[in-house]
Chain A
Amino acid sequence: NAGVTQTPKFQVLKTGQSMTLQCAQDMNHEYMSWYRQDPGMGLRLIHYSVGAGITDQGEVPNGYNVSRSTTEDFPLRLLSAAPSQTSVYFCASSRLGDEQFFGPGTRLTVL
């Protein structure tokens, strides 16, 4: 079991560029989510999904898109990166009602 994997580990973008952060899990978990971690603010929920084909917005969804075409994968898309999106991004997964498992994170810098 690889658990929750995220790629890339590090990424530097220029303002206006687009990119996709990848997240995959091999535990057959229904629930997947994306958080961003900023100094002094803890982790804030961006988007989440309770199953394939179902996604919803979290606390800070603006500037991000998600899709869930399979149970395993939950990519996060930045359509036009902004410096305010410089952050560390974590993906998590769980069975519904159970503890969440986190990936190792992607550190994104937008210049």
Chain B
Amino acid sequence: GDSVTQMEGPVTLSEEAFLTINCTYTATGYPSLFWYVQYPGEGLQLLLKATKADDKGSNKGFEATYRKETTSFHLEKGSVQVSDSAVYFCALMNTGFQKLVFGTGTRLLVSP
């Protein structure tokens, strides 16, 4: 079945450092890919998405490119802030279905 694999955390960075969180997927067909963010004590919010190969999703300085050849959707940000500390989830949704398949989440801790 469909699955998503994320790098284990926590990822600990200093403010203004470069961030990469790896995400790879296994799916039949042509899924849409998502990054969700969960701030402490809150629900999940959509951070960005990409619906087809080579699409780049971006929001709030975060970016991720849908790479079909490597089945990856790595999350990047050039300069993290303390306020980016959260748990980040990679997810896929296969064509014609509405069900999201999530990775296990990666906790990011940014210190001043």
Q: Complex Cα distance A101/B105, Å?
A: 18
Docked-complex contact A42 and B105, CB < 8 angstroms: yes
In the bound assembly, the distance between CA atoms of A94 and B103 in angstroms comes to 20
Query: Contact between B98 and A94 (Cβ–Cβ < 8 Å)?
Result: yes
Whether A99 and B99, one on each chain, are in contact in the complex, defined by CB atoms closer than 8 angstroms, is: no
The distance in angstroms between the C-alpha atoms of A100 and B46, with both chains bound, is 8
Q: Is the CB of A100 within 8 A of B100?
A: yes
Task: Indicate with 1 or 0, residue by residue over A14-54, a CB within 8 angstroms of chain B CB atoms.
Answer: 00000000000000000101010000111111001010000
For residue A103, give the distance in angstroms from its CB to the closest CB of chain B. 5
Q: A48 touching B49 by the CB < 8 A rule?
A: no
In the complex, the answer to whether B43 meets A90 with C-beta atoms within 8 Å is: yes
Q: How many A-B residue pairs have CB under 8 A?
A: 47
Q: Specify the main secondary structure of chain A where it touches its partner.
A: strand
Any A CB within 8 A of the CB of B71? no
Q: A99-B34, A99-B49 are in contact. Are A42 and B102 (CB under 8 A)?
A: yes
Whether a CB of chain A sits under 8 angstroms from the CB of B58 is no
Given known A-B contacts A40-B104, A41-B104, A96 and B43 have beta carbons under 8 A apart? no
Q: Please judge, given known A-B contacts A45-B99, A48-B98, A96-B98, whether A105 and B43 are in contact too, CB under 8 Å.
A: yes
Question: Which residue on chain A has the smallest CB distance to residue B6?
Answer: A42
Give Cα distance in the complex from A33 to B98, angstroms. 10
Given contacts A42-B89, A43-B102, A102-B45, 19 further A-B contacts (CB under 8 A): A4-B43, A33-B98, A33-B99, A40-B104, A41-B104, A43-B89, A43-B100, A58-B99, A92-B100, A96-B98, A97-B98, A99-B34, A99-B49, A100-B98, A100-B100, A101-B46, A104-B43, A105-B42, A105-B43
